[in-house]
Structure 1
Amino acid sequence: MESAEEPLLLLQEEEINKRDLFVREVKKVSYIAVPMVAVSVTQYMLRAVSMMMLGHLDELALSSSAIATSLTNVTGFSLIFGLSCALETLCGQAYGAGHYQKVGIYTYGSVIWLFVACVPVCLLWIYTDKLLILIGQDPLISVEAGKFAIWLIPALFPYAILQSLVRYLQTQSLIMPMLWGSLASLCFHLPLCWAFVFKLNLGNAGAALSISISYWLNVIILGIYVKYSSTCSKTRASFSKDVFLTMGEFFRFAIPSAVMVCLEWWTFEIIVLFGGLLPNPQLETSILSIWYANFDIISRHQFEMFLAVSNSIIYLNLRASLTITSLHYLIQYAFGAAASTRVSNELGAGKPKAAQLVVSAVLALSIVEFVIASIALFFCRSILGYSFSNEKGVVNYVKEMTPFLCASVIMDSLQAVLSGVARGCGWQHIGAYVNLGAYYLVGIPLSLFLGFVLGLNGEGLWSGLIAGATVQSILLIIITRRTNWEKKAAEARWRIFDGKVPLHDELI
């Protein structure tokens, strides 16, 4: 009798252990993701505030800064952001393996190589006005956009340092310093931007300059923390020749990381640029840029102004929908950052099963969140439009678009989390192919067909992007399920320990 019960007891005990491990992992992921949401929102608001203030000047100021932001995102910020994502693999896995000095060495190297990448970007930004005119943008908008881009050059270098420091802290699960740094920078940025734009009458130049100064402040705050905090003592490496030896390893992950990120970012910015070819370019470019470039928080006054001069109400209705999706995406990006950190740490520690558990925990949290968000949006569909306008046409259209909006929330959520898993595993090169196929073989062609051939304009451009995100999510799910976790853990430890680790003894 006892022998028959023993297997059952062992099975129950194993299930309890699995449940406890899962709950423990959910807590670890939440510890990273929750404050990371606040970090994402505050950094998002820093640039959005500048757009809001410029919108109170005139339509030209808003549209020119919006188109300049689109081009600088395409040619600069997306590149730097993507290159820095290599640290999510390198630093995350090195920290998990207990090779702490390498975390600091990789970060030093990242700052140097990102600075080198900034130089040709700056040269390109100097000719922004000529480039915009060359691709068919409105000359008046292009000239003002060129001025904005030139004044934004000083923001590129602190942005490179900031992204390196963010990855350095993130891979060690040190999120709170980033939160306090971002909050301090935003609080400083609000009066600074207001003073530059309105009191000193600097206009676009003042908005761009205030962004640069605020980035530098954030860098200084994080730099002081890294220098003097005891929590960074293990990973605080001294500058040596080893920093320069990281170049090959860094770019091995940085280039596919940049391609993966840029292909996705560029898709949205390309659509913004095509929006400049639609009727009434100042209006269309402002609205599409506000949607797609994540600068979609504008005042009620601005929204009513757009509504008054627009020949097509559909753009304003879609703007309302995409404001919601952009804000929601910040939550899921935080889950993706948590997934990247925990997966890279566990693979570096030689624990492939633990890495798999991380994926399950993050996806479970993500699914719960986007289900709640989708249900809330659906049941609030009748009143959602009043957040943007009292116009009945806007309110009714937002109500009609809500089911489509809920589907968009789901697809964006899945791809954000699974992209984080890709960065943690180090298969960014596969993610680059996924993004290429999803957006450039499906999303953009479909957007152009619906927007220009079928004459659906802004709604058509947006619909194609949603289709691309759906294909992207499906492909990432398939690849994640087929990942050989034991092999990824072995590769991580072999690389971190320079091929000196006996893999069969190290994998747990």
Structure 2
Amino acid sequence: MEEEGSAFTAAAAAAAVPLLSYSNGSHHRKLNPSSAAAPPPPSLSVFLSEVWVETKLIWYIAGPTILTALLQFFLTFITQTFVGHLGTLPLAAVGIQTMVIGGIGFGILMGMGSALETFCGQAYGAGRLDLMGIYMQRSWVILFGTSLVLTPAYVFAGPILRLLGQSDAVAALAGELSLWLLPELFAFALTFPAQKFLQAQSKVMPMVWISLIAVGFHGLMSWVFIFKVGLGLVGAAIILNLSYWIIAVGQIVYIVYWCTDAWSGLSWLAFCDLGRFIGISIASGVMICLEYWTYMVLILLAGLLKNAELQIDAATICMSLEGFVFMIPLSFLAASSVRVSNELGAGRPRTAKFSVWVMVSMSVIIQITCTVIIILARNHFPLLFTSDKRVIAEVSRLVFFLSASVLLSSIQPILSGVAIGAGWQTMVAYINIGCYYLIGITVGCVLGFKFKLGLQGLWSGVIIGIAVQTLILLVITLRTNWEKQAS
């Protein structure tokens, strides 16, 4: 649409102004735009002052986003914790369903929804709030259509898992659970676009309160339905569905009544220009899914090893803990895509670049701290999920591989967020195919099956793939012409 395109070309004209004022929520700062001559290097005091100002801006977005992500992750975490005490088979079924069948829906919808980080972030940076509501509605249309396409994966989960080599007992129970969890798929289709819409405007605290209500409901009712009422896995699925829908409906209510500057109601414009939007959404979906599905493949391959139930349980516990810790850099991913897209949309490329390196530094420090805690608690945290001594021992043996994954995740998500904010999804999708699958999974299979290293060998391959992908993204980010990206 010509109106949409003009918003971004108009933003580039702002670079001619000698001094720009940037406002984000309650924060306000003065920024020098890019110019032909490079400015002299700042003094240490000026540099530290800029770091402090940028840190406050980042945490204004990332802080509540981290809380929201952790709270929403707690929904699955709580379910796995309760179900794990029903036995090793139910825990394995939940792990397979969450990482494989649920992972397909979650990964695709989250990835496709992240296209809004590019569109809404740049529209907000260019001052075109009127376009943001239209963009979100387009994403809803696309994600609901995608959910319908993904429905057969939930319906036929049992046969699919058996076809992938999983045991009959695990496949049957995971297939039954998938049928009950079908409503969560459509909740994701509403939730992810709404979250990106709010994040682009730095309106993230409402998401924290909505998620907190959902988690409180989920924890109490899961205990009642699973243990007191005795519904077991069925009870867990019912409450998980209700909790996700509480989040989806709560966010929409907030948008309709408290985001009137960017939301003007439902519009037929949501069905216009869908081709371009679908293209970016698919590229975003592929980019995110190729990352997320690496661990799905790891769980599937674990099911092909000897003592499959034990291996799946150990991998599920490690993946759950890593997923919990990963919410921190994942929130920095959201913050980096918002900051980069806002600043590029407003014609301030140097600020975008500066923000990236401040975030990378903070994330590395936080993840190193988390790694030390995981290593020290390696014989204790498995008790949250199981009392089986064999599973606990296997998890303890995997802790150093878990630590390596946590350390790599301190940088990689932020660089992916930069790619989303700058609109590089298609290029990164190709990089992910090569790194995660041609290198990571291939090496993992050789180590795990050929050299008989089991789950440790499989995970080693994944770590190598992530390391190569992180290095490539780091080189691309270092060599990026930010002035060209802004224009």
Give me the whole-angstrom Cα distance separating, in 2, the residues matched to 1:44 and 1:414: 20
Q: Which of the numbers 156, 160, 177 marks the counterpart of 1:148?
A: 177
What is the match of residue 412 of structure 1? 409
Q: Which ranges of structure 2 fall in alignment gaps of 5 or more residues?
A: 1-38
Which shifted more, 238-247 or 83-92? 238-247
Matched, 1:283 2:307: no
CA contact (8 A) 1:106 1:246 kept: no
What is the match of residue 87 of structure 2? 58
CA contact (8 A) 1:105 1:242 kept: yes
Classify 1:434/1:178 alpha carbon distance in 2 versus 1 (closer, same or farther; 3 Å): same
What is the match of residue 342 of structure 1? 339
CA contact (8 A) 1:382 1:399 kept: no
What is the match of residue 459 of structure 1? 456
What is the match of residue 477 of structure 1? 474
What is the match of residue 267 of structure 1? 294
Matched, 1:110 2:139: yes
Classify 1:355/1:80 alpha carbon distance in 2 versus 1 (closer, same or farther; 3 Å): same
What is the match of residue 439 of structure 2? 442
Deviation of 1:233 after TM superposition, in Å, equals 2.2
Deviation of 1:463 after TM superposition, in Å, equals 1.1
Q: Where do 1:162-181 residues align within 5 Å? A: 162-181=191-210
What does the per-residue CA deviation read over 1:309-356, in whole Å, with 9 as the maximum and x for residues that have no partner?
A: xxxxxxxxxxxxxx3x44332211122211111111111112112211
The one-letter code of the counterpart of 1:450 is L
Give me the whole-angstrom Cα distance separating, in 1, the residues matched to 2:323 and 2:277: 31
Q: Where do 1:47-446 residues align within 5 Å? A: 47-229=76-258, 232-292=259-319, 296=320, 323=321, 325-374=322-371, 376-377=372-373, 381=375, 384-388=378-382, 406-446=403-443
CA contact (8 A) 2:314 2:391 kept: no
The number of residues matched between the two structures is 446
| 1:385 aligned counterpart, secondary structure | coil
What does the per-residue CA deviation read over 1:411-464, in whole Å, with 9 as the maximum and x for residues that have no partner?
A: 111101111111111101121112111111111011111111111111111111
CA contact (8 A) 1:92 1:348 kept: yes
| 1:238 aligned counterpart, secondary structure | coil
CA contact (8 A) 1:147 1:204 kept: no
| 2:410 aligned counterpart, secondary structure | helix
Give me the whole-angstrom Cα distance separating, in 2, the residues matched to 1:405 and 1:148: 27
| 1:197 aligned counterpart, secondary structure | helix
| 1:413 aligned counterpart, secondary structure | coil
CA contact (8 A) 2:318 2:395 kept: no
Deviation of 1:479 after TM superposition, in Å, equals 1.0
TM-score (norm 2): 0.85
The one-letter code of the counterpart of 1:476 is L
Classify 1:177/1:383 alpha carbon distance in 2 versus 1 (closer, same or farther; 3 Å): closer
Give me the whole-angstrom Cα distance separating, in 1, the residues matched to 2:135 and 2:73: 26
CA contact (8 A) 1:43 1:186 kept: yes
Classify 1:195/1:246 alpha carbon distance in 2 versus 1 (closer, same or farther; 3 Å): farther
CA contact (8 A) 2:92 2:312 kept: yes
Give me the whole-angstrom Cα distance separating, in 2, the residues matched to 1:395 and 1:58: 14
What does the per-residue CA deviation read over 1:458-503, in whole Å, with 9 as the maximum and x for residues that have no partner?
A: 111111111111111101101111222222222xxxxxxxxxxxxx
CA contact (8 A) 1:385 1:394 kept: no
Deviation of 1:126 after TM superposition, in Å, equals 0.8
Give me the whole-angstrom Cα distance separating, in 2, the residues matched to 1:95 and 1:395: 48
The one-letter code of the counterpart of 1:385 is N
| 2:202 aligned counterpart, secondary structure | coil
The one-letter code of the counterpart of 1:457 is G
Classify 1:22/1:447 alpha carbon distance in 2 versus 1 (closer, same or farther; 3 Å): same
What is the match of residue 306 of structure 1? none
CA contact (8 A) 1:89 1:424 kept: yes
Deviation of 1:56 after TM superposition, in Å, equals 1.9
Classify 1:249/1:14 alpha carbon distance in 2 versus 1 (closer, same or farther; 3 Å): farther
Classify 1:273/1:426 alpha carbon distance in 2 versus 1 (closer, same or farther; 3 Å): same
Give me the whole-angstrom Cα distance separating, in 1, the residues matched to 2:472 and 2:232: 44
CA contact (8 A) 1:382 1:396 kept: no
Give me the whole-angstrom Cα distance separating, in 2, the residues matched to 1:120 and 1:402: 38
Which shifted more, 194-203 or 169-178? 194-203
What does the per-residue CA deviation read over 1:29-77, in whole Å, with 9 as the maximum and x for residues that have no partner?
A: 0211122221111111101111122122222222222222222234311
TM-score (norm 1): 0.82
Give me the whole-angstrom Cα distance separating, in 2, the residues matched to 1:366 and 1:456: 31
Classify 1:56/1:250 alpha carbon distance in 2 versus 1 (closer, same or farther; 3 Å): same
Q: Which ranges of structure 1 fall in alignment gaps of 5 or more residues?
A: 1-9, 297-322, 491-508
Classify 1:410/1:287 alpha carbon distance in 2 versus 1 (closer, same or farther; 3 Å): closer
Classify 1:24/1:267 alpha carbon distance in 2 versus 1 (closer, same or farther; 3 Å): same
Deviation of 1:12 after TM superposition, in Å, equals 7.6
CA contact (8 A) 1:382 1:395 kept: no
Q: CA RMSD for the aligned pairs?
A: 2.6
Classify 1:14/1:335 alpha carbon distance in 2 versus 1 (closer, same or farther; 3 Å): same
Matched, 1:41 2:70: yes
Give me the whole-angstrom Cα distance separating, in 1, the residues matched to 2:268 and 2:178: 35
Give me the whole-angstrom Cα distance separating, in 1, the residues matched to 2:231 and 2:388: 34
